[in-house]
Amino acid sequence: MSSSFLSVLIQRQAGKYGDRVALRYRDYKTETWIPVSWNQFAATVKTVSNALIELGIGIQENIAVFSQNKPECLYVDFGAFGIRAVTVPFYATSSEAQVHYMVGDAEIRYIFVGEQLQYDVAFRVMLLGSQLKQIIIFDREVKRDERDQTSIYFDDFLKLGEAHPHQAEVDKRTSESGNGDLANILYTSGTTGDSKGVMLHHSCYEAAIPAHDERFPQLGDQDVIMNFLPFTHVFERAWTCWCLSMGCTLSINLRPADIQKTIKEIRPTAMCSVPRFWEKVYAGVQEKINETTGLKKKLMLDAIKVGREHNLDYVYKGLTPPPVLHMKYKFYEKTIYSLLKKTIGIENGRFFPTAGAAIPPAVQEFVLSVGINMVAGYGLTESTATVACENDNDHVVGSVGRIMPHVQVRIGENNEIMLRGEGITHGYYKKEAATKAAFTEDGWFHTGDAGYIKDEHLFLTERIKDLFKTSNGKYIAPQAIEAKLVVDRYIDQISIIADERKFVSALIIPEYKLVKEYAAKKGIRYESMEELLQKPEIIDLFKERIDTLQQQFAHYEQIKRFTLLPHPFSMERGELTNTLKIKRNVLNKNYAAEIEKMYEE
C-alpha cells in the first residue's frame, strides 16, 4: 500500500527543489517578505510530526488550527498528515460559541492558535470546561492569561520534536497512511442553523489534484501565488495543496484587509479569490471613469468597449478579430489595460480562479474585456472545491465553466445540481441523519443549487433553499436581483426581502464615502450618517439608480421600497458568515423594525 499523497508531498518536493523558495510570509516589523525553502519547509514538517507524537496524538485523532493565514498552518497540516492525524481548521473570526461547539463536536484535545484574538477565545473555551488539554500559540507576541498554566508557544512545541525522538513511529505511520484516511473536517459556516463538519478524506484530494493538472496544464513551478482567502476555506485549501504539488511559490497574506498592499509587493502570477475582490476593482474603475473628463474619459470608455468586442465577441468564441479591432486592442493593451493591471498589482497575473458566490455579469464582462484572465468556477466544501470551472479563452459570461474530469453532474428535480465522484465528501462528521438526507439512494449528493448545462457549460440559477415566495404566490430569486444591483458604485451591500411579503424590498448598505461626496457637491447639510441617509435628495438618488438597474426584471421582482442603513452588516452581530455570505434569518431578526416599516400601508 502506498502512502497517501499529502503525507509525503512536502518531503518529495524538497527532494526535487531543495533550497528553492517554497513560501514567503510578511514580517510586519521590517515590512519585508521572509523566504522559506523547500528543505526548511520539509524539516519543519518532520519536526512537527515528531512533536505531535510526543504530545500523544493518536492515529486519526482530530487537532484544531484556529488562525489566520500563517506558514505555521501549513507546517501543522502536513506534519499531521505525516502521522495520520486529522486537522480541523477554524476561521480566524470564529466566535466563542462556534469554537466551543466545534471543539466539543470534534473532541479536540490540542488547538493551535494564531494571534491574541484566537488565543483569548480558545482560553475562554478552555475555562468553560471541555476536553481541551493545551493551546499552542503561533505568535510569540501573544500575552497569556495569568491563570493559564498549560499553553506553550509554537517554538517550544517544535523543541519537543527537534531531535526527532519518534522518527521510527513517524515513518511507520506515513507508510501505513492511505487514501481511506480522513484528512480534514471542515465546519461549514452555514447561512442557516448549526454548522456541520464536512469530512474530506485523502481520497478526495487525490481525485481533485490530478483533475486540476488536466484542466490547467499551464500552472507550474515558475508561478508565484498569493494566498489571500483563508486556508480554512476549502477553495484556498485545495488550491494551496495543488499549488504545492506543482512546485509553485506561495506568498501568504496574513490579514485580508492588507491585500491591496501585499498584492503590489508580491505581484503574483495567480491568486484565487471571491467575486467581492473583483467587485471592488470594478467599482474603483467606474469611480475613476466618473471623475475623469474629456479625451481621457473617452479613451477609457473606448478601451473597455474595444476589449469587450475583441475578447467576448471574437476571442472567447474561437473567432479571429478583424485586423483594425485587433490593432486597437493591442494599443490599449500596452497603455490602458497594462496601467490598470499595474495599479492593482497583477501585471504578471496569468490566471485568477474566482468562486464562492455569484459573479455579477457586469463585473465578469469588464474583467475579461480588459484582458484579466479571471476563471469563473463553482464548488462546495462537500466537493473538495471545484465542480466546474473555465480555462483560458474558454469564457462564457454567466457560466461557471465546464464540469471537472473527476466529477459527474446530473440535473435533478427542481433543476437541482447533483454530484457524484471520488472528490465528494463521504458525509458529515457524527451526523448520520444529515448525511443520509444529503445523498440520494443511489449515491448522488444534493447541492441545494439549481442550474442547467448548455453547450457543456454549467450555469447556476439560484439556491433552491433561498427562493422567496411572495404572498401573491410569485417566486423570487434574491441572489439574481442582488448580483444585478451590487455593481452600482453607490451600493456596497444589499439584501433582498420578499419571503411571504406582498412586494420586494431591500436593505442597502451604501458606499458611505460616495454618499458624503455627493452631499458635499449638492450642499446637503447633516449631523450624522443616520440623518444624511434619510434626506429626500439621497433617497431619490438611490431610487433613480435602482430603477435604472432593475428595468429588465419582471414587475413583481422589482424593488418597491428600500432602507439605507448607517452601519455595514457585520460578523460580530452574526449577520455574515465567515465567508461573508449574508445570513438572511439574522438580518430579518436584527432589522425587524426597519423591515416592518417598509411594509406599512
**CATH code at 586?**
3.30.300.30
Residues 6+ apart with CB under 8 A from 41: 10, 13, 14, 22, 23, 74, 75
pLDDT at site 1: 55
* Average pLDDT, integer, range 385-412: 93
Residues 458 and 472 in one domain: no
Final residue before a domain boundary, out of 448, 464, 480: 464
User: 190 pLDDT band (50/70/90 cuts)?
Assistant: low
Residues 6+ apart with CB under 8 A from 291: none
In whole numbers, what is the pLDDT of the chain averaged over residues? 93
pLDDT tens profile 490-502: 999 999 998 888 8
Residues 143 and 116 in one domain: yes
For residue 81, the domain's CATH number is 3.40.50.980
Residues 392 and 480 in one domain: no
C-alpha to C-alpha distance for 403 and 334, rounded to whole angstroms: 34
* Average pLDDT, integer, range 44-61: 98
Residues 529 and 447 in one domain: no
In a domain, 116, yes or no: yes
User: The cell 435533478 sits on which residue?
Assistant: 412
Complete edge-to-edge strand list for the sheet that includes strand 559-564: 491-497, 504-510, 559-564
Residues 15 and 161 in one domain: yes
The number of distinct structural domains making up the chain is: 3
- In DSSP terms, 270 is beta-bridged to 225, 351
* Average pLDDT, integer, range 325-339: 96
In a domain, 94, yes or no: yes
More confident call, 601 vs 205: 205
User: 472 pLDDT band (50/70/90 cuts)?
Assistant: confident
In a domain, 422, yes or no: yes
In a domain, 17, yes or no: yes
Residues 299 and 441 in one domain: yes
pLDDT tens profile 208-239: 999 999 999 889 999 999 999 999 999 999 99
Residues 291 and 429 in one domain: yes
In the DSSP assignment, the letter for residue 237 is H
In a domain, 57, yes or no: yes
What is the sign, positive or negative, of the torsion defined by CA atoms of 310, 312, 313, 319?
A: positive
Residue 365 pLDDT > 60? yes
Q: Which domain holds residue 31?
A: 5-168
Residues 160 and 58 in one domain: yes
Question: In residues, how long is the chain?
Answer: 601
User: 471 pLDDT band (50/70/90 cuts)?
Assistant: confident
Whole-model pTM? 0.87
Virtual torsion, Cα 456, 458, 464, 465, nearest 10 deg: 140
For residue 376, the domain's CATH number is 3.40.50.12780
In a domain, 383, yes or no: yes
* Average pLDDT, integer, range 531-558: 92
Residues 52 and 23 in one domain: yes
pLDDT tens profile 120-173: 999 999 999 778 999 999 999 999 999 999 999 999 999 999 999 999 999 999
Residues 496 and 531 in one domain: yes
In a domain, 223, yes or no: no
Where does residue 392 fall: left (phi above 0), alpha (psi -120 to 50 degrees), or beta otherwise? beta
Residues 385 and 473 in one domain: no
Residues 424 and 492 in one domain: no
Final residue before a domain boundary, out of 464, 488, 510: 464
- In DSSP terms, 495 is beta-bridged to 507
